[in-house]
A and B are shown apart, each in its own frame.
Chain A
Amino acid sequence: MEPLDQELDESEIELPTEPMLLNVGPAHPAMHGTVRCVMELSGESIQKVDVQVGYLHRGFEKMCERGTWTQIFPYVDRTNYVSPMLCNVGFALACEKMLGVTVPERCQWYRMALGELARMSDHLTCDGAMAMELGAFTPFLWMIKGRDMIWDLMEEETGARMTHSFGRVGGMAAPPTAGFKENARAVSEQILKIIEEVERLLLGNRIFLDRLENVGIISQEDALSLGWTGPCLRATGLPYDVRKASPYLKYDEVDFDVPVGSTSDCFDRFMVRIEEMKQSARIIEQCIARMPDSGPVNIDDPRIILPPKDEVYNTIEGTIQHFKIVMEGLKLPAGEVYAYTEGGNGEYGFYLVSDGSGTPWRVRIRPPCFYVTSGLERVITGRMMADVVPCFGSLNMIGGECDR
């Protein structure tokens, strides 16, 4: 009988040593959305990886160049479909910056409250999916339950769960519903409870911690040079948050902290998102407290805002106003603008060029995920195959943002 501790080196079995090429994606259950990773594996460790985005084939920046500025809202909805309200408001703010107008106070608080709810939805999805992919199915179900509460609230407000197309240049499609404040407060409280439960379930779990801690580390310099922003950058310890760095809407008037990480690993990225949800809840509370219950939501400018429908049907002035805005589009003054907000995954910017006609000349979107995903290669090279799952999950790639 052969000794059990026979060393492999002495055996006659030759293991192949050349690296193996493995193609993961573009449509693969391990991938979030359609992205393709071509990996060169040596055993289980990743020697080289080539991350390829762009499998949605949409060309939405080009699509923006026909039609009107208002018609872009459905497109930006679909860049980050987990937090479309942030995209909607970001685009509306860019157009308003070009027009030099500011929406009424009620609308500003409303936009902020909806935006922070959308941010919660984004982070719940990311952290929940991350846990699920590491085998923790229960937190995923709880967090998705929380996200569904937000989506129900969004449906109540906008009529759509996911892609709302609710923003408008100069305001919102509709004023807040009567029950908005009550609902938003209830949802935010519920989500805080869910987060607490999730923390209790996960943060003492050895397996969960071992899979995340010291995995997927990236240096602050690398993150900055890749153009990272948002939770992934803050996990490196840099407190860059557009809401603090260059406040828009009423963010300079609300009280909130910017959580940062220390080791820049997957666990930090997970925890930054958890903490941010708690901060969002703080912001929502303040928005609800300060949002007036009545007053205009849209600015009062017939060149920008559509008239009420009964005026369109019954007066020639309303008809003309409607006609000019719908058929020719509202006219942004000739020029260019870069406007940026804090999206779910970082700095969400719009570079708009207008020639003064009703049709956009160029709409360039700076989606945070495009830059974050470009760092995936650096994060997972040299790691084990199994680490791809938490690393990729913690970067929170949104396919719609990565598509050009």
Chain B
Amino acid sequence: MPTFKLDEREIPFEPGDTVIRAAHRVGVDIPHYCWHPGLSVAANCRMCLVEVMPPPGRPAMMLDILTWDKAKGEYVPQRKPKLQPACQQAAADGMVVKSQTSEHVIKARSAVQELLLLNHPVDCPICDQAGECRLQDYWLQHQAKSKRMRDEPVHKPKGVVFGPNIVYDAERCIVCTRCVRVSEELAQDPVLSVRERGNLNEIVVSPGRQLDHAYTLMTEYVCPVGALTAVDFRFKARVWFLRSARTVCVGCATGCNSFTDYDPRSQKVARYRPRENLAVNKYWMCDDGMLDHARIHENRVLNGRVKGEETTRETAVQKAAELLRGKEGPKVGVVLSAEHSQEDNLAMLWLAREVLKTSLIFVSGRPEGVADNILRHSDKNPNSAGVAELVDVLPLRSFPDFEDAVAKGQLDTVVSLGSALPQPNSTAPSKVKTLIALAAHEGPWVQRAAVVLPASSWAESDGTFVNANGQAQVSEKAISPQGDSRPAWRLVSELGRALGVAPSWRKAQEIEAAVPKTARNSSSPPAPSAGANG
């Protein structure tokens, strides 16, 4: 593999790589604002300037400049090498590049930083980006001085509503055009553009339009400063109080890798952020997925219920066991859920086989939805492929089969997992005589169930999800189970014990180990880094 030298370090690169990309791949960070590994090169922020040494025997490209001579009290002509943006400079074999070791580069970065902050408002205390802001980090690393300008900064519009999800602050904007490129290249909707020149320029939405494509939150995510803020997250939390868990989005069958940022004090989830995984979602997530964290806290079933009356989980489990006792056999059905993890479904499968002695196993889930050819999948369940894989030795019956069986009176008693129905208007659940629902959210199953056991959501336990491409991915636990809820596999275990059969797994690690490994071809995602927005 060809290599070039960056600050005395050999960096391997693939043909066609730029200097910054090759360095980024081996974990060397050349400071940058406008460059993003998932976007085209703009080379407008000038933060990644490096000094490329001329080939042996060739003169360096020099610029004539004037510098202030303090002793003489006047400007004197001088020469300095012309610096190159590392994001645009193609890597060549044997090339020698100086980044931190070049005094010209150090000076240039300091100057760039001074210019970027020239008109910046004193907004850190009220800015959502504070704590993960490039301007803050790079100022301390590369400038650490006050600006020399004493004039009133240029004032621009603040709090401009770009669309349903995004608010723009032109004063904070450094016009790196990352948001413009995300709209054009990722969302394929070039709705954003730059207006004016110099220190008057700002980002605008096309006349008559709103920033309302399916990936608007990615513009906020790539924004290296606090110019674009998400309506969803604006003024909700300060990022230094948040902790991150490495999770998988459960909004659809794509299984985008994400970070779940939560507040450990209140045990509430504040937002999702995409997590880089080139084999699944690259650097991105869709708006539906990004906003899906609301479901973790909305419409939750937090207590056990018997005939619609709230009760403790223990009472509900005992009542469910009472209803199930003596019913083992062919009149009992078990409904799995593509909404839930492999662990939860595996536990339900064990309940069907070992406790209820039935082979009437159905699968339910959320109804289909909008798809595109970027990330969004029409199957809005995160684990359809996983359930199909778990049940491959038994006949797996779909939801229409369930409706059929109910209509024919084949099912007397049903234990269901999950909250949603693939056909939202189906009346099948209400026709079952005895329905025991394990659910995290309010919905048709919970409404019609004789006994409800409160299951926890995906954010409250570790879980394996198999996406549409057959990639099994583990989503880490972020917060502790809300209310009296517990992971569904644990509820099944409690139910089994109440019926006198104990499962072989007791702990989370044991049931994780029991999940079949056949589909585990997921690429391992990189380690998390704070504020990793490229």
Q: Does B125 contact A (CB under 8 A)?
A: yes
Q: How far is the CB of B240 from chain A (nearest CB, A)?
A: 6
In this complex, what residue of A is CB-closest to B118? A316
**Given the known A-B contacts A303-B140, A320-B136, A321-B140, are A313 and B122 also in contact in the complex, defined by CB atoms under 8 Å?**
yes
Q: How far is the CB of B470 from chain A (nearest CB, A)?
A: 39
Question: Which residues of chain A are near B146, meaning CB under 8 Å?
Answer: 311, 315, 317-318
Q: Does A323 contact B (CB under 8 A)?
A: yes
Q: Does B147 contact A (CB under 8 A)?
A: yes
Q: Does A207 contact B (CB under 8 A)?
A: no
In the complex the two chains form, is A327's CB within 8 Å of B131's CB? yes
In this complex, what residue of A is CB-closest to B116? A316
Question: Which residues of chain B are near A311, meaning CB under 8 Å?
Answer: 146
| Complex Cα spacing A324 to B145, Å | 14
Question: Which residues of chain A are near B122, meaning CB under 8 Å?
Answer: 313-316, 319
Q: Does B139 contact A (CB under 8 A)?
A: yes
In the complex the two chains form, is B120's CB within 8 Å of A316's CB? yes
Which A residues from 286 to 325 make CB contacts under 8 A with B? 302-303, 311, 313-321, 323-324
Pick the most buried of A313, A319, A327, A328: most chain B CB atoms within 10 A of its CB: A319
Q: How many residues of B contact A (CB 8 A)?
A: 19
Q: Does B336 contact A (CB under 8 A)?
A: no
Q: How far is the CB of A93 from chain B (nearest CB, A)?
A: 24
Question: Which residues of chain A are near B147, meaning CB under 8 Å?
Answer: 315, 317
Question: Which residues of chain A are near B124, meaning CB under 8 Å?
Answer: 316, 319-320, 323
Question: Which residues of chain A are near B130, meaning CB under 8 Å?
Answer: 323, 327
As a 0/1 sequence over residues 145 to 183 of chain B, the CB contacts with chain A under 8 angstroms (1 = contact) are 111000000000000000000000000000000000000
In this complex, what residue of A is CB-closest to B137? A324
Q: Does B60 contact A (CB under 8 A)?
A: no
| Complex Cα spacing A327 to B129, Å | 13
Interface SS of chain A: helix, strand, loop or mixed?
helix
Interface SS of chain B: helix, strand, loop or mixed?
loop
Q: Does B121 contact A (CB under 8 A)?
A: yes
| Complex Cα spacing A13 to B255, Å | 93
In this complex, what residue of A is CB-closest to B140? A324
Pick the most buried of B131, B140, B147: most chain A CB atoms within 10 A of its CB: B140
**Given the known A-B contacts A317-B147, A318-B146, are A324 and B117 also in contact in the complex, defined by CB atoms under 8 Å?**
no
**Residue from the list A302, A313, A315, A319 in contact with B144, Cβ < 8 A:** A302
Which B residues from 331 to 362 make CB contacts under 8 A with A? none
**Given the known A-B contacts A302-B145, A303-B144, A323-B124, are A317 and B139 also in contact in the complex, defined by CB atoms under 8 Å?**
yes
| Complex Cα spacing A377 to B139, Å | 57
In the complex the two chains form, is A316's CB within 8 Å of B145's CB? no
| Complex Cα spacing A59 to B416, Å | 51
Q: Does B135 contact A (CB under 8 A)?
A: yes
**Given the known A-B contacts A315-B147, A318-B146, are A302 and B140 also in contact in the complex, defined by CB atoms under 8 Å?**
yes
Question: Which residues of chain A are near B121, meaning CB under 8 Å?
Answer: 316
Q: How far is the CB of B524 from chain A (nearest CB, A)?
A: 25
Q: How far is the CB of A64 from chain B (nearest CB, A)?
A: 19
Q: How many residues of A contact B (CB 8 A)?
A: 16
| Complex Cα spacing A314 to B121, Å | 9
**Residue from the list A314, A318, A323 in contact with B136, Cβ < 8 A:** A323
As a 0/1 sequence over residues 230 to 252 of chain B, the CB contacts with chain A under 8 angstroms (1 = contact) are 00000000001000000000000
Q: How far is the CB of A330 from chain B (nearest CB, A)?
A: 10
**Given the known A-B contacts A324-B136, A327-B131, A327-B240, are A319 and B145 also in contact in the complex, defined by CB atoms under 8 Å?**
no
Question: Which residues of chain B are near A316, meaning CB under 8 Å?
Answer: 117, 120-124
Question: Which residues of chain A are near B125, meaning CB under 8 Å?
Answer: 319
Pick the most buried of B124, B147, B240: most chain A CB atoms within 10 A of its CB: B124
Q: How far is the CB of A325 from chain B (nearest CB, A)?
A: 9
Question: Which residues of chain B are near A317, meaning CB under 8 Å?
Answer: 117, 139, 143, 145-147
As a 0/1 sequence over residues 273 to 300 of chain B, the CB contacts with chain A under 8 angstroms (1 = contact) are 0000000000000000000000000000
Q: How far is the CB of A304 from chain B (nearest CB, A)?
A: 10
| Complex Cα spacing A327 to B143, Å | 19
In this complex, what residue of A is CB-closest to B240? A327
Which A residues from 321 to 361 make CB contacts under 8 A with B? 321, 323-324, 327-328
As a 0/1 sequence over residues 104 to 139 of chain A, the CB contacts with chain B under 8 angstroms (1 = contact) are 000000000000000000000000000000000000
Question: Which residues of chain A are near B139, meaning CB under 8 Å?
Answer: 317, 320-321
| Complex Cα spacing A311 to B144, Å | 13
Question: Which residues of chain B are near A320, meaning CB under 8 Å?
Answer: 124, 135-136, 139-140
Question: Which residues of chain B are near A302, meaning CB under 8 Å?
Answer: 140, 144-145
| Complex Cα spacing A189 to B469, Å | 85
Which A residues from 32 to 67 make CB contacts under 8 A with B? none
| Complex Cα spacing A319 to B123, Å | 8
| Complex Cα spacing A313 to B135, Å | 17
Which B residues from 75 to 125 make CB contacts under 8 A with A? 117, 120-125
| Complex Cα spacing A328 to B238, Å | 13
Pick the most buried of B130, B135, B146, B147: most chain A CB atoms within 10 A of its CB: B146
Q: How far is the CB of B136 from chain A (nearest CB, A)?
A: 5
| Complex Cα spacing A264 to B130, Å | 60
In this complex, what residue of A is CB-closest to B120? A316
Question: Which residues of chain A are near B145, meaning CB under 8 Å?
Answer: 302, 317
| Complex Cα spacing A302 to B136, Å | 13
| Complex Cα spacing A321 to B123, Å | 13
Q: How far is the CB of B117 from chain A (nearest CB, A)?
A: 5
Q: How far is the CB of A146 from chain B (nearest CB, A)?
A: 46
In this complex, what residue of A is CB-closest to B136? A320
In this complex, what residue of B is CB-closest to A322? B124
Q: How far is the CB of B142 from chain A (nearest CB, A)?
A: 12
| Complex Cα spacing A319 to B136, Å | 9
Question: Which residues of chain B are near A315, meaning CB under 8 Å?
Answer: 122, 146-147
Question: Which residues of chain A are near B120, meaning CB under 8 Å?
Answer: 316
Question: Which residues of chain A are near B143, meaning CB under 8 Å?
Answer: 317
| Complex Cα spacing A303 to B140, Å | 7
Q: How far is the CB of A324 from chain B (nearest CB, A)?
A: 5
| Complex Cα spacing A320 to B122, Å | 9
| Complex Cα spacing A314 to B125, Å | 12
| Complex Cα spacing A324 to B140, Å | 8
Which B residues from 363 to 378 make CB contacts under 8 A with A? none
Q: How far is the CB of B148 from chain A (nearest CB, A)?
A: 11
Q: How far is the CB of A327 from chain B (nearest CB, A)?
A: 6
In this complex, what residue of A is CB-closest to B141? A303
Q: How far is the CB of A262 from chain B (nearest CB, A)?
A: 56
| Complex Cα spacing A303 to B144, Å | 8
| Complex Cα spacing A255 to B122, Å | 51
Question: Which residues of chain B are near A313, meaning CB under 8 Å?
Answer: 122
Question: Which residues of chain B are near A319, meaning CB under 8 Å?
Answer: 122, 124-125
| Complex Cα spacing A316 to B121, Å | 6
| Complex Cα spacing A317 to B117, Å | 8
In this complex, what residue of A is CB-closest to B125? A319
In this complex, what residue of B is CB-closest to A314? B122
Q: How far is the CB of B51 from chain A (nearest CB, A)?
A: 25
Q: How far is the CB of B124 from chain A (nearest CB, A)?
A: 5
Question: Which residues of chain A are near B123, meaning CB under 8 Å?
Answer: 316
| Complex Cα spacing A344 to B144, Å | 39
| Complex Cα spacing A327 to B121, Å | 19
| Complex Cα spacing A328 to B120, Å | 21
| Complex Cα spacing A327 to B144, Å | 17
| Complex Cα spacing A280 to B130, Å | 48
| Complex Cα spacing A302 to B143, Å | 10
| Complex Cα spacing A324 to B142, Å | 14
| Complex Cα spacing A108 to B305, Å | 70
| Complex Cα spacing A303 to B145, Å | 10
In this complex, what residue of B is CB-closest to A324? B140
Contacts A/B (CB < 8 Å), 28 sampled: A302-B144, A303-B140, A303-B144, A311-B146, A313-B122, A315-B122, A315-B147, A316-B120, A316-B121, A316-B123, A317-B143, A318-B146, A319-B122, A319-B125, A320-B135, A320-B136, A320-B139, A320-B140, A321-B144, A323-B124, A323-B130, A323-B131, A323-B136, A324-B136, A324-B140, A327-B130, A327-B240, A328-B240
In the complex, the 4 A-B pairs of residues with the closest C-beta atoms, listed nearest first: A302-B144, A316-B120, A319-B124, A320-B136
In addition to A302-B140, A316-B120, 6 A-B residue pairs with Cβ atoms within 8 Å of each other are A316-B123, A317-B145, A317-B147, A321-B139, A327-B131, A328-B240
